[in-house]
Structure 1
Amino acid sequence: MTRSSVLRAVVFSAGALSLVGCNQPTGQGAGPGKGAQMSAPEVSVVTAHVQSLPLTRELVGRLAATRTAQVRARVAGIVLKRVYTEGTDVKQGQVLFQIDPAQLEAKLKAEEAALAKAEADAVNAALTAKRYLELREKKTISQQDLDTAQAAERTTAAAVKQARANVDGARLNLSYATVRAPIAGRAGRALVTEGALVGQNEATLLTTVEQIDPIYVNFSQSVQELTELQEMAVDSRKPGALASKARTSVEVRLPGSGAYSEAGTLDFSDLAVDPGTGAVSLRATLPNPHRALLPGMFVTLRLTTGRLDQAVLLPQAALARDGRGAYVMVLNAEGKVEQRRVESHGMTRQDWILTGDLAEGDRVIVTGLQKVKPGAMAQAAPADEAASSADKKAAKASSASTGSVAGT
């Protein structure tokens, strides 16, 4: 056989094989319908449950005393002793410091002596005026003498009033030598010690008393968030009326110690917006009977203003957004993907609080959103199986990476 005959035989055999391959049906040996089923991506879903949920916002706040009083020295003198124990609760009027009263007592005695002299002068002037009046009736003295005597009577009477006022002032200053708590609360650290000269040309700060039961929680919100809270707190029984303060509650979580046992109430809202931050200042009041909360502490607070009657909790991964807003993907009974528009009302610690086009029992896609689109087919896999598969893949990848490093 010549070389050209061999080449023609090879070409003919290749063409025949290609024709046979083209006539082979697609997916042969895979069984009817299996090819279409394998093309549908697998996604994990969770079942939606419609329920009543509280309207909440989680914020960061700082504690502050409801009343703060600065205790200052109101008279000059030497501090003799500190009577109270620092950091303890004191009652209103309780003695905190004792200032040396010797100089003030001497001043009081001097004013009392001046009062006694003024009273004696007033008595003498009154007797003289009375006597001159009798003599004038007898025409034995001039009218000028009588006028002078009566003027002296009035002057000495005024001097008595002045002296009495001086005595009252000296007695008041003497009482200031005993420094008392102006309000009930917790007395802080003493800022002076025994032997210190206080009140000399200034009202020396001695200590501070803070009332911390109840205690304030100061926090802020943007104008938009505050408006949303007010709109969501509308009482359904009174259209257009905002929910009362009794319906608004505040729960506080302390760093490292969990939730605080006492619930608070919203107490105050600024009428102006801070131009620096664009936020509105808010304040809540919390009972603090055990003094566990201290001014200056930062806390996490949950502000509750009402309830949503038709809400759904969904994991964070289920929610997506586009130019029109938020949406979720739902796998219907025929295995087809549908897009549902929803509205977000904040979050719990793990899930979104959503309302919108969702019904009880809807299968919401949690993972695999990037593999599907509305109208496409998909297969549902339980969320725990999908997580287990992902864990296995991660473990396998980690093992392969370790093996390659070891081989190197």
Structure 2
Amino acid sequence: MLNTRSALIRGGLCILLSVLAACSDTGGGDGRPAPEVGYVVVQPSAVPVSVTLGGRTVAYETSEVRPQINGLIRRRLFTEGSVVRAGQPLYEIDASLYRAAVNQAEANLASARASADAAVARADRYQPLAEMEAIAQQDYTDAAAQARVARAGVAQNAAALDTARINLRYTTVTAPISGRIGRSLYTVGALVNASQQSPLAVIQRLDPIFVDMQQSSAELTSLRQALQRGEVTPGSTSVRLLLEDGSDYGVAGQVKFSDIAVDESTGTVTLRASFPNPQGLLLPGMFVKAVFDQAVEPRAFLVPQPALQRDFDGSAFVFVVTPDNKAQRRKVTAARTNGTNWVVTAGLNPGDKVITQGLGNNLRPDGEVRPVPASAPQNVSPPGRNGGGKPASGQAR
């Protein structure tokens, strides 16, 4: 009887040890099976450094229409808000006095030419007489001087005539540039003068149109230093524009230049871009956002956002699958995103298997895992198989 009882005890112990050994073989040593995780294989790629800057639209060209003479406005020759062409008449100023000045200058020029002809003829007659000593040499010298003075008088009166004609032409005020003209600040009958402070109207050329963007001088300095160190390469000059309502403008622009000075009041540098504006949708003074790739990181890793976690101190880390199918905690540097991915610039190696799925399945550093490619299809077993409906080995949890 004693021998039988001992044999039963030894048999029970063997069964118990077998069960414990089987449990230890299926998990990480705590009796639970190794969690199944999904992973992606990361490789370095060229990732653009995209920036979004606020800006204001600025007219490509702006010209103030101003009078260059004094007088009363007789007619306005344009429609407010319309498109005008360079040289197109805009205002007509009373030309009576200026037309009379032209007539007077023409008469003065004719008189000066007549006097000059007489003086030159007298000098020509005196020259041979002076050579024969028929007249005093001084008489010829005086006649020749009077002829030169008369010719100078002709030139002076010709210049006065040109001035009078220019002033007469200024009685028609023309458009200095082509563009859209605003409202008229002076009406018919208003007295204008060449030294007035306010213009008659303002013309703005809106196609193309400029967008002035403001970027922190610290960000720009950091970018230039990174370019010098070779950490990034120059990006594209193509710019995408977002309107005030958040919609896309739809037409790409080009960055033209960066200002050479920092605004002391704001600590920013102005960048200017040019955009086509054939429909006139963009008006000067509009607030917009410009999006463009200011640089390119040549060897960065794109990691799906769910894979990246952060410690209490804000540092970033991910889990990677080691060659022996263990989860390794890896600190990484990720300061920005690109679409749905984090841009990791340090901490990863080409070909690393970054865990993106199953991070909440009792995942522990250096713990065993069952890795499968991310988003692999799940084969759900019917109830009663593999432990009463539990996922079979190799299935995603």
Q: Structure 2-normalised TM-score?
A: 0.72
Q: 1:82 aligns with which of 72, 76, 83?
A: 76
Task: Give the CA deviation at 1:114.
Answer: 0.9
Residue 298 of structure 1 corresponds to which residue in structure 2? 287
Give the C-alpha shift of residue 330 in structure 1: 2.2
Aligned match for 2:310, one of 302, 305, 320: 320
Partner in structure 1 of residue 124 of structure 2: 130
Alpha carbons of structure 1 residues 341 and 349: separation in structure 2 relative to 1, 3 Å: closer
Secondary structure (helix, strand or coil) at the match of 2:58 reads strand
Verify: 1:210 aligned to 2:199, yes or no.
no
Mark the CA change 1:375 to 1:250 in structure 2 (over 3 Å): closer, same or farther.
Answer: same
- Kept after mapping to 1: 8 A contact 2:300/2:343: no
Shift of 1:372: 8.7
Greater shift in the superposed pair: 208-217 or 274-283: 274-283
The aligned residue for residue 273 of structure 1 is 262
What does 1:29-108 correspond to in 2, within 5 Å?
Answer: 53-108=47-102
| Cα distance change of structure 1 residues 147 and 286 upon mapping to structure 2, 3 Å threshold | same
RMSD, aligned CA: 4.1
Per-residue CA deviations over 1:215-256 (Å, capped at 9, x if unaligned) read 111112223422454567799xxx79964x8x3211111122
Matches within 5 A, 1:218-229: 218-229=212-223
Query: Cα offset for 1:57?
Result: 0.7
Rounded to whole Å, the distance in 2 between the matches of 1:321 and 1:273 is 37
Q: Does the CA contact (< 8 Å) of 2:81 and 2:181 recur in 1? A: yes
What SS class does the counterpart of residue 331 from structure 2 fall into? strand
1:98 is displaced (CA, Å) by 1.6
**Would the aligned equivalents of 2:316 and 2:333 in 1 still touch at CA under 8 Å?**
yes
Partner of 1:164: 158
Q: Per the alignment, in what secondary structure is the counterpart of residue 277 of structure 1?
A: coil
Structure-2 change in CA distance of 1:290 and 1:147 (3 Å) = same
State the shift of 1:84 in Å: 1.9
Contact 2:76 2:91 in 1 (8 A): yes
Query: 2:329 corresponds to which residue?
Result: 338
- 8 Å Cα contact 1:48-1:312 kept in structure 2: no
Structure 1: stretches of 5+ with no match in the other structure: 1-31, 381-408
Residue number among 227, 230, 238 corresponding to 1:249 in the alignment: 238
Does the 8 A contact of 2:238 with 2:292 survive in 1? yes
Distance in 1 separating the partners of 2:115 and 2:265: 68
Contact 2:73 2:92 in 1 (8 A): yes
- CA change 1:224–1:204 in 2 (3 A) is closer
Structure with a larger share of its residues in helix: 1
Residue 107 of structure 2 aligns to a residue in which SS? helix
Structure 1 residue 109 displacement after superposition: 1.0
Task: Determine if contact 2:72/2:93 at 8 Å carries over to the other structure.
Answer: yes
8 A contact 1:339–1:374 mirrored in 2: no
Q: Distance in 1 between matches of 2:226 and 2:175?
A: 45
Q: What's 2:345 paired with? A: 355
Distance 1:303 1:316 in 2: 26
Alpha-carbon distance in structure 2 between the residues aligned to 1:313 and 1:181: 58
CA distance in 2, matches of 1:265, 1:274: 23
Label 1:232 to 1:249 Cα distance change in 2 as closer, same or farther (>3 A).
Answer: farther
One-letter amino acid of the counterpart of residue 341, structure 1: V
Does 1:113 pair with 2:133?
no
Distance 2:228 2:321 in 1: 34
Distance change (3 Å), C-alpha of 1:364 and 1:240: closer
Amino acid at match of 1:356: A
Q: Deviations over 1:196-218 (max 9, x none)?
A: 11115436511122222221111
- Quote the offset at 1:337 in angstroms: 6.0
SS of 1:205's equivalent?
coil
Letter of the 1:214 counterpart: P
**Do the aligned residues in 2 keep the contact of 1:76 with 1:200 (CA within 8 Å)?**
yes
Are the counterparts in 2 of residues 337 and 378 from structure 1 also a CA contact under 8 Å? no
TM-superposed CA distance for 1:259, in Å, is: 1.2
**2: CA distance, partners of 1:227 / 1:191:** 45
Measured against aligned partners, the alpha-carbon deviations of 1:311-370 in whole angstroms (never above 9, x if no partner) come to 3154499453777x84233264767461331243x44576543333345651248998xx
- Structure 1 vs Structure 2: percent identity of aligned residues? 34
SS of match in other structure, 1:215:
strand
The C-alpha deviation readout for 1:87-135, integer Å capped at 9, x for no partner, is 2222221222221212111111111111111111111111222222343
Q: Determine the structure 2 residue equivalent to 1:286.
A: 275
8 Å Cα contact 1:72-1:206 kept in structure 2:
yes
Cα–Cα, structure 1 residues 253 and 360, in superposed 2: closer, same or farther, change >3 Å?
farther
In 2, Cα distance between the equivalents of 1:318 and 1:94? 64
Confirm or deny: 8 A CA contact 1:336 1:378 kept in the other structure: yes
The verdict on how the C-alpha distance between 1:68 and 1:364 changes in structure 2, with shifts beyond 3 A counting, is same
Aligned CA distance change for structure 1 residues 379 and 255 (closer, same or farther; 3 Å):
farther
Shift of 1:377: 9.1
The residue aligned with 1:329 is 318
Matches of 1:366 and 1:62, distance apart in 2: 47
Letter in 1 for 2:152: A
Q: How do 1:370-385 and structure 2 match up within 5 A?
A: none
Q: Shift of residue 301 of structure 1?
A: 0.8
Residue pair 1:336, 1:377 contacting (<8 A) in 2 also? yes
Q: How big is the shift at 1:172?
A: 0.9
> Does the Cα contact within 8 Å between 1:69 and 1:208 map onto a contact in 2?
yes
